[in-house]
Amino acid sequence: MATQSLHELLSQAGWTMVPLYACSVLAGAMAVRKLVQLRRTVVDERVSGVIEETRRALEATPGRAVRVAEREADAALDELGSGMSLLAFVAQAAPLFGLLGTVLGMVDLFSGMEAAGAAAEMSTLSAGIWKALLTTAAGLVVAIPTLGAHVWFGRRLDRVQLELEDRVGRMLDERLGTVT
């Protein structure tokens, strides 16, 4: 077998690569968006905004400050967490699209072998199998880094939530006099 470029290999996998290409583009775009969205300066701005709104509520109506803090923190975390479900979807769907391509490739292979009858050769079988498995490999190549990005961004969001809870909690404790 001659050495083939990645493009040539993937083009042999057929139309079932289209959803995998789409998954790859979506995951890459969302990962870049999350990197920008979870930069330290952006997170600091959102945390500072929550603290400022809580401070205003404390000055205006101290009894509502806890509810304001919760509402503002939830809104900030929801905004920072947007797109995580897309990463989770791609991480789960890409291997399934790859498996679909493999199954369809195997069906095509065995259909062709049946039509060839006794003339079917082992080289035809092995060539068909490796072509069919290309989509499974491509699905895993998309899914594994996407899953890693999802876990990394999820952990980053967990740290932001803890920081937010700590800073707002300290401020409320100081202002409302509940420090023990």
Kindly state whether residue 25 falls inside one of the protein's structural domains: yes
Q: Where are the beta strands (DSSP E) in the chain?
A: none
Would residue 67 count as lying in a domain?
A: yes
Angle between the N-to-C axes of helices 17-37 and 84-116, in degrees from 0 to 180, rounded to the nearest 10: 170
Q: Judge whether 104 lies within some domain.
A: no
> pLDDT per residue over 122-136, tens digit each?
777 777 788 788 999
In a domain, 100, yes or no: no
Q: Is residue 112 part of a domain?
A: no
Domain membership flag for residue 30: yes
> Tokens 């062709």, residue?
112
> For the segment 100-153, what is each residue's pLDDT rounded down to a tens digit?
999 998 888 888 777 777 676 777 777 778 878 899 999 999 999 999 999 999
Answer yes or no: is 83 within a domain: yes
Domain with 59, as residue range(s), is: 16-95+139-176
Rounded alpha-carbon distances, angstroms, from residue 86 to 29, 32, 38, 82, 127: 11, 13, 16, 9, 35
Residue 134 lies in a domain: no
**Model's pTM, two decimal places?**
0.83
Percent of the chain with pLDDT over 70: 94
For helices 122-176 and 65-81, give the axis angle rounded to 10 degrees: 160
> Using CA atoms, how far apart are residues 152 and 96, in angstroms rounded to an integer?
22
Comparing CA positions, the residue from 49, 42, 38 lying closest to residue 72 is 49
- Looking at the structure of the chain, the number of domains it has is 1
Task: Supply the mean pLDDT for the chain.
Answer: 89
Above 50 in pLDDT, residue 32?
Answer: yes
Report pLDDT for 1: 46
Instruction: Please report which confidence band the pLDDT of residue 180 belongs to, taking 50, 70 and 90 as the band edges.
Output: very low
Is the pLDDT assigned to residue 73 strictly greater than 90?
yes
